[in-house]
Amino acid sequence: MHALVFHQFGDADVLRHEVVPDPVPAPGQALVRMRAVGLNFADIYRRKGNYHLAGSPPWILGYEGAGEIVSAPPGSGLQAGQRVGFADSPFANAGLCAVDVDRLIPLPDAISFDTAAGSLLQGLTAQYLCRDSYAVRPGDWAVVHAAAGGVGLLLVQMLRRLGARVIAIASTEAKRQAVRGLGVDEVLPTEHWLQAVQAITGGRGADVVYDSVGTTLPDSLAAARTGGTVVFYGMAAGDPAPVDPRLLMDRSLALVGGDLWNVLTTAQERRSRAEQLFEWIQTGDVQLRIAHRFALRDGAQAHRALEGRQTIGKVVMQVE
């Protein structure tokens, strides 16, 4: 099979579309013919060598994708030809992928391979951010960094659906315009946003701040109200500065970490959460925006597009 691989850490130029051996499913795994894979910042972190990475060179990236069952273990309930997706299994950037059966999510007929590959990881992430990391209530002020990113666009829609008042932060006018189209309450540039949040909330601060940037964490803590919550779930611009726990004590702040792997603990949990996500997509309550589609063989271009931070929405790679 062909796969998008790299033999050493580095920039996007280390990626190669090469022939590698087909995977051999272990007990409890199904073999999936990949049709589409989602690209995420975690893939960039792994390519650079500063994030956990399974296996040995040549490495195959990708934890999110969709395709068709080639073979499945007896009793798994999965059939050859069945359309499935997954959000948390490695080596997706290939023609074939061996996936634990409990990580596979059957796809409704109305959900395309591109939609599944473009929504599962980031959609399930946005879902737990406003359900598990912080239970959003109607009327809450919620600040969302990187609101025009893959998670950000989905998160602001879910927050609005739950009745929150959303302050979205985006770096360019094109990104801010995309977020405005989702009906958020306020859209701010990345400059002087802290002062703007305080003014918008009447000096009270936000009930919850969602920070996936990393370096903005000190200002996110300052933007939260006394007794508010900051949810840290990414470091797109670099590691955050250490936080003095006395700051949390003095203002009764909650600083919460977020990682999707900690909530996708069983097959039933994955499938029930995905069922709700797909229902929101099918009803139009949540709209997926795919920024770019690339062939898997052009994966280096896909990485450059995402890493350049000029994308608005999700980058999907299609497998020939």
Q: Which domains does the chain have, with CATH numbers?
A: 2-120+264-318 (3.90.180.10), 138-257 (3.40.50.720)
User: Residue 135: left (phi > 0), alpha (psi -120 to 50), or beta?
Assistant: beta
Question: What are 176-187's pLDDT values in tens digits?
Answer: 999 999 999 999
Instruction: Tell whether the model's pLDDT for residue 236 goes beyond 90.
Output: no
Which element (helix H / strand E) includes 38? strand 29-39
pTM of the model: 0.90
Beginning with the edge strand found earlier in the chain, give each strand of the sheet holding 16-19 in spatial order.
Answer: 16-19, 2-6, 59-60
Residue 202, judged by CB atoms within 10 A of its CB (0-12, 13-18, 19+), counts as exposed
Tell me how far apart the alpha carbons of residues 206 and 224 are, in angstroms, rounded to a whole number: 5
If you average pLDDT over every residue of the chain, what do you get?
A: 94
Tell me how far apart the alpha carbons of residues 14 and 47 are, in angstroms, rounded to a whole number: 8
Tell me how far apart the alpha carbons of residues 314 and 279 are, in angstroms, rounded to a whole number: 19
What percent of the chain has pLDDT above 90? 87
Q: Kindly state the average pLDDT of the residues 236-259.
A: 90
Query: What is the predicted pLDDT for the residue at 238?
Result: 78
Question: What are 6-35's pLDDT values in tens digits?
Answer: 999 999 999 999 999 999 999 999 999 999
Q: Are 266 and 102 in contact (CB under 8 A)?
A: yes
Contacting residues for 88 by C-beta, under 8 A, at least 6 apart: 63, 64, 103, 121, 260, 261, 264, 270
Model confidence band, residue 202 (pLDDT cutoffs 50, 70, 90): very high
Model confidence band, residue 234 (pLDDT cutoffs 50, 70, 90): confident
Instruction: Tell whether the model's pLDDT for residue 55 goes beyond 90.
Output: no
Instruction: Tell whether the model's pLDDT for residue 52 goes beyond 80.
Output: no
Q: Kindly state the average pLDDT of the residues 77-90.
A: 96
